[in-house]
Chain A
């Protein structure tokens, strides 16, 4: 019970589709009926959609650093990216900003990385007309891969750096996209592995210790990386290092990150002169 390797996950997906293998395992694991498992995931999907609908471009975070960029990117319509890709980017920003501004989001896998899954799935649903049921199935796929990452490595920035949050979200999103597009379990594992290896080593360095900077924007890169990894896998490009080995490597990299790069707000962007200045200003604010 509970998948400990992508290999086991893909094997379980022999008789039934991968999303269903994850669902059946959940039913067994928690002793619940099929409907209960599915509707709980469906509620998460509904809440993801709601978080995008609820986005308020005028809202700012408690410290005033964050807000408005999701709408800004959408409205500017720069034209460098296709409208679809721009929609992915702005959705990632919207959910990230919603989270920073104390809006309601789904922490999947974490609050900091909550923009990635909605960003890869929602514009996709709109562009290609996938049903809600198909999207929920894709979330089961994301959950299955996420479970392996969480058990073999970590999904917490404080433990494994941002590779464990945005990296994991991206890998989960990549696998989910492949499943949505009708790819095979093997292609899902290639997509997961390649998304994860692209973000390997990403450090967790939030300015002033707040889930805002760089967190909100990293949701954009996590989403675009998921799209790229899924496109590669669906094109038939194989990943050389097996997914489980990539996950293990991610863990080893996380373990060797100094604590200053694991959510302590002591390294990376947080330690830049501007980052420190912001932190000082905010702590002065707190004492008032």
Chain B
């Protein structure tokens, strides 16, 4: 734990797990969709369902979906702001088997055919963990520069990404691969030691077989 895990984050209250973490989950889900959702279905599990309203979990998730950071003072007004922005959302409770007590399932769509389903948990202190994307297991915290690549599951894809990154001097800290048996889709989650240059992400995006490439950079707060 570094000293800024103890001092901070700066956040809108009342709870680092139920408010700050929830805002961050909403934000990361928005990034995984790639744009502001037109529709969002929010399903709360466990303690998120039980005490979420009193903790503003609902408002924080919507704020994150609107692109707000956990310390954005507009966070409490997120419902009204979503309404103004034309974002339609629903919030209900659910039970997810074996899930962490502070877990949410988000189903987002951009209104033009793109969708994403994100299952994520708030771990305390504002830290979060994504558990699954589109029903495929994919675990990451966003604490490091992270690339989330959804691609067609075909030979050579992994080697191609890895060599591209190493060629540009990016040191891969961890790399995980997940496959959807049926759909022929795969998710690669790559955490690196250094931030990744924007132009390299563009190269990845235009490589054959890529479905969606998301880059989370914690240094820039996203």
Contacts and interface: CB of A to CB of B under 8 A. Distances in A.
Interface of A: 2, 22, 25-26, 29-30, 40-41, 43-44, 47, 61-63, 98-112, 114, 139-140, 142-144, 146-147, 150-151, 155-156, 158, 208-212, 265, 282-283, 285-286
Given A102-B76, A103-B73, 18 more contacts: A2-B1, A100-B14, A101-B13, A106-B10, A107-B11, A107-B16, A107-B126, A108-B7, A111-B16, A111-B19, A111-B20, A140-B3, A144-B3, A146-B6, A147-B2, A208-B51, A210-B51, A283-B50
A282 B15 CA distance: 17
A208 B125 CA distance: 20
Contacts of B51: 208-210, 265
B62 interface: no
Interface in B105-129: 124-126
Nearest to B9: A107
A222 to B, nearest CB: 15
Nearest to A107: B16
A285 B53 CA distance: 10
Contacts of A158: 124
A210 B55 contact: yes
A144 B3 CA distance: 7
B53 A286 contact: yes
14 contacts: A44-B7, A101-B13, A102-B14, A102-B19, A103-B73, A106-B11, A107-B126, A111-B19, A139-B7, A143-B7, A144-B3, A151-B1, A211-B15, A286-B53
Given A103-B13, A104-B10, A114-B13, A150 B5 contact: yes
B66 interface: no
Main secondary structure of the interface of A (DSSP, over half): helix
Contacts of B13: 98-105, 111, 114, 211
B2 A2 contact: yes
A195 to B, nearest CB: 16
B71 interface: yes
B86 interface: no
A30 B47 CA distance: 33
Contact of A103 (B5, B12, B20): B12
Interface residues of B, number: 33
Contacts of B126: 107
B209 interface: no
B11 A210 contact: no
Interface in B1-49: 1-16, 19-20, 47
B186 interface: no
Contacts of A265: 51
Contacts of A22: 3
Contacts of B14: 61, 99-102, 111-112, 210-212
Interface in B55-107: 55-56, 59, 71, 73, 75-76
B135 interface: no
Contact of A43 (B6, B10, B15, B20): B10
A44 B5 CA distance: 12
Given A109-B6, A158-B124, A209 B54 contact: yes
A62 B51 CA distance: 11
Q: Which 9 A-B residue pairs are closest in the complex by CB-CB distance?
A: A99-B13, A143-B3, A209-B51, A146-B6, A102-B76, A211-B14, A210-B54, A47-B10, A108-B7
